[in-house]
């Protein structure tokens, strides 16, 4: 994905995604370029107790906007489990140098598994919400006033196209 497109998307959507993942009280930055050589894709440096994080995106490894959204959401889930990273740093201070590497591998494996499971959970919940919403529309109960607008009106707009 083009670097400027990544930046543009982040400017437009990061805040919304933070809110979606209940991270609106955090200070999160997202930018292009990886923090260490040899790293690809995306990653986040998370300070769980301070509710701060820096997300790094590697534009050549992001295919399109959907891929970018998925990558940002993945990194935001790493923020959501931020306290684990704080624990990791505390454990490090109790270990010898030779044990730190092993502890890192164990931690990264568990951390990644938790985030992947959360990703599946978020997708499942989103699907259920859409199913429920469609059922409500079908039952004629979908007349919900919300900030995003009235679904009935949106439906009419959709039909006009």
Residues that bind Zn ion (CB under 5 A): 112, 115
10 or 115: CB nearest Zn ion? 115
- Residues 30 and 72 sit within 8 Å (Cβ to Cβ): yes
What is the distance between the alpha carbons of residues 155 and 44, in angstroms, rounded to a whole number? Answer: 38
101 or 112: CB nearest Zn ion? 112
Q: Tell me how far, at minimum, the Cβ of 118 lies from Zn ion, in Å.
A: 10
**Position of tokens 């306290």?**
83
- Residue 144, C-beta contacts closer than 8 angstroms, at least 6 positions apart: 136, 150, 151
* Token pair belonging to 68: 């970018």
* Token pair belonging to 49: 């107790």
Q: Tell me how far, at minimum, the Cβ of 55 lies from Zn ion, in Å.
A: 11
What is the distance between the alpha carbons of residues 45 and 79, in angstroms, rounded to a whole number? Answer: 9
Residue 79: Cβ within 10 Å count: 22
107 or 133: CB nearest Zn ion? 107
Q: Tell me how far, at minimum, the Cβ of 128 lies from Zn ion, in Å.
A: 24
113 or 129: CB nearest Zn ion? 113
Q: Tell me how far, at minimum, the Cβ of 79 lies from Zn ion, in Å.
A: 11
Q: Which helix (H) or strand (E) holds 28?
A: strand 27-32
Residues forming beta bridges with residue 44, ordered by sequence position = 55
86 or 142: CB nearest Zn ion? 86
Q: Tell me how far, at minimum, the Cβ of 117 lies from Zn ion, in Å.
A: 12
């Amino acid at each position: 994905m083009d670097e400027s497109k990544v930046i543009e998307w982040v400017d437009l959507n990061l805040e919304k995604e933070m809110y979606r993942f209940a991270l609106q009280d955090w200070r999160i930055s997202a930018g292009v370029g990886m923090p260490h050589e040899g790293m690809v894709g995306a990653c986040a440096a998370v300070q769980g107790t301070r509710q701060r994080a820096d997300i790094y995106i590697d534009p050549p490894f992001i295919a399109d906007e959907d891929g970018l959204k998925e990558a940002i959401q993945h990194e935001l889930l790493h923020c959501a489990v931020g306290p684990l990273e704080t624990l990791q740093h505390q454990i490090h201070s109790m270990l010898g140098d030779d044990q730190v590497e092993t502890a890192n591998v164990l931690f990264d494996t568990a951390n990644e598994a938790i985030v992947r499971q959360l990703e599946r959970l978020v997708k499942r919940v989103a699907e259920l919400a859409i199913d429920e919403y469609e059922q409500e529309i079908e039952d004629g109960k979908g007349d919900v006033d919300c900030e995003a607008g009235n679904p009935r009106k949106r439906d009419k707009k959709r039909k006009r196209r």
